[in-house]
Amino acid sequence: MVAALMMHPLPYHDTKPVGAADFYFAINATFRFIREKLGSDALSAYWQDLGREYMAPVSHLWKVGGLPAVAEYWRAFFDAEPGAKVTVTMEKDRVLLDIQTCPAIRHLRAGGRTIDPGFCQHCYCVSEAAAEKAGFAVRVKGGNGQCQQTFSPRDQAFGPQIMENIEKAL
Amino acid sequence: MIGCYDFCGHYEWTFEWLRQQGGDDLVHQFWDKAIGQDSQQHAAALIAEKGFSGMKEYWAHTLAEEAAGYTFAEDPGVVRIDMHECPSKGFLLLNGLEQYSDYCDHCIGWIGPMMKKAGFQIHHEHNHCGKCWWEFRRSSDSSPASDTEKLAGKNDVRLLADWATKDQQIDVFRNAAHSTDDGSPFRGRIRYSGLSGKVICKATLRAP
């Protein structure tokens, strides 16, 4: 069992193949609660801590396995997210995620939920914090249901992340 | 992105993050407001509208989606759930994740206030190892918790050999509406050792 878990591209492993989509409601509600109770800066700090601490095993996989491990992780990740339509492309010096249907935004809309306006920023903040520990950077463009994310070595990143390039979720 | 596949992992991690920001009180507010009133608003609406049948409708959907091992039982005026394999705690045990002191408290933390608003109260026990049971009755119903087997028959989780083992702690809630309900004999929470039955702690007394 332990060996099987260690070989899986997702460090946290479940017995069922895909997650329960209603949990996107809780993720969205968590962001709103922290923003309202502790403020936007605290929400950014929460996302960064999540990326550095909870996702530390992911960072480790990426650090050890390099860009192929980054690509493998995201393929397995989106395979386990219900309703996701995502193309993961491995290039020589980067991994591209083309998210045609974000499973979270899709389910939140289908459920008639008010989406936290900064919802899409969590992708950048969490992934950047996790990637930094592995020597990578991520840049995000788009959002609100469709976006492009590029993972590359930090010394080859395409300039700083422009937060205005991440759309407000509606 | 954080996803729903490993949701229980970052959900549990978040409890401890919140505790470090604002103590257990902030965690309890999170369970009530963010989970009960926001995330699970569909459950609150269903149960407020349909009562006992709404409970069965809600949990039949959500526990199937989460692939839980559970049974329903009912008698007039009461619905009971016996959770044999909690998928949520099971995920944490499978992956060796434990940041917060009592993950299992989150359920009564959001279900308790929701049920109180809808006019119901709860008898509940959890063993911290993926097994628990619940009984929901109207707030005006002073019936004690059912005896073992009476409602759930052979499905009663209390019959399992690993329900209460050595060093295992059982948390007990009676007529409860929150994770911090008091520890009096007829309202609230105690924790006892599974094998000896010795009471380990009682929560701080609160006004009903």
Q: Are A125 and A44 in contact (CB under 8 A)?
A: yes
H or E element, residue B122: strand B120-126
Domain range annotation of chain B: 7-202
**Number of Cβ pairs < 8 A linking chain A and chain B:** 113
Residue B197: exposure state from Cβ atoms within 10 A (0-12, 13-18, ≥19):
exposed
Q: Between chains, do A122 and B87 touch, taking CB under 8 Å as contact? A: no
CATH number of the domain encompassing residue A149: 3.30.1380.20
- Greatest C-alpha distance within chain A: 44
CB atoms within 10 A of CB B201: 12
Nearest residue in chain A measured CA to CA from B97: A12
Nearest residue in chain B measured CA to CA from A19: B5
- Domain of residue A55, residue span: 21-158
Q: Which residue in the set B1, B22, B33 is minimally distant from A123, CB to CB?
A: B1
Residue A106 lies in a domain: yes
Q: Between chains, do B3 and A53 touch, taking CB under 8 Å as contact? A: no
| Angle (nearest 5°) at CA B28 between B26 and B34 | 85
The pLDDT tens digits along chain A (170 residues) read 444 445 678 999 999 999 999 999 999 999 999 999 999 999 999 999 999 999 999 999 999 999 999 999 999 999 999 999 999 999 999 999 999 999 999 999 999 999 999 999 999 999 999 999 999 999 999 999 999 999 999 998 778 899 989 998 88
ipTM of this complex prediction, to 2 decimal places: 0.94
Q: Between chains, do B30 and A30 touch, taking CB under 8 Å as contact? A: yes
Write down the pTM of the prediction.
0.91
Task: Identify from A8, A16, A31, A33 which residue to disrupt to test chain B contact, counting B C-beta atoms within 10 A and taking the largest count.
Answer: A33
Task: Identify from A12, A52, A149 which residue to disrupt to test chain B contact, counting B C-beta atoms within 10 A and taking the largest count.
Answer: A12
Q: Both ends of chain A: CA-CA distance in Å? A: 42
Domain count, chain A: 1
